[in-house]
Each structure stands twice: as C-alpha cells, then as structure tokens.
Amino acid sequence: MLTITKKFEFAYAHLLPNYEGKCRNLHGHNAVLEVEVSGPPINRQNVYPTMVCDFGDLKGIVDTEIINKLDHKHLNDIMEYPTAETMCQWIWNRLFVVFGKRLERVRIYETSNSYAEVKR
C-alpha cells in the first residue's frame, strides 16, 4: 500500500481552563499538521498510474476543511477542550468524512517536539 503525507502550518490561540499549569492562560502556538492518506493508486486521468492522491488536491481539501477553520482562531470558540489530542481527533473526524479509510494518520505538533496523533 502506498501512502503520501503533506505538512501544513497554522497559528492558533487557546487556553485550558481549570488546568494546573501555564496552559491555563491564553497563549498561542504555531502548529504543524501532517496528513497521511493511502490506497491503491488512483489512475489520475489515465496518465499517472502510481498516484495515490494529487498533492494539490490534498492541499485544497485540508485547507478548506481544516486550515481555513483553525488558522489564527481562538480554539476555545471552536471546541470545548482544545488540547492537542482534542484538536487531532477533531481534524481526523472532519477529514475522515472526505477520505474515509484512505485516511491513515493525522499528526499535529503543538511544539517542535510534542505532538498528538490519530492513526487508522
């Protein structure tokens, strides 16, 4: 099975009420999102028999479904508990509607060395 992965970046703000720690206060992150899709190759226009998904198509879908909704937003207005884990599941659920079982993995880096991930 072939897979492809595309990275995206966006900025967001959030706070974690009732959390014991500095994340209790309003703060921001520059997130890195990785989306991996798989499947038997799609013979796009009967020209590219090994293409799993056009990277441009993947970008358009993720931009529309995720980036445009989260970039430069206060995530507490979008989800009740905007932890990295909640965000990752929220992103997975939205993209699964589009990709179904072709969606393999969603990984979101809250910092350069900390991430949450959902895998099929």
Does residue 116 sit in helix, strand or coil? strand
Has 110 been annotated as catalytic? yes
Whole-model pTM: value is 0.91
Cα(84)–Cα(88) distance, integer angstroms: 6
Has 53 been annotated as catalytic? no
Contacts of 88 (CB under 8 A, 6+ apart): 106, 107, 108, 116, 117, 118
Catalytic residue among 27, 72, 74, 117, which?
72
Has 23 been annotated as catalytic? yes
CATH 3.30.479.10 fits 2-46+72-119, yes or no: yes
Low-confidence ranges of the chain (pLDDT < 70): 41-49
Catalytic residue among 20, 29, 110, 117, which?
110
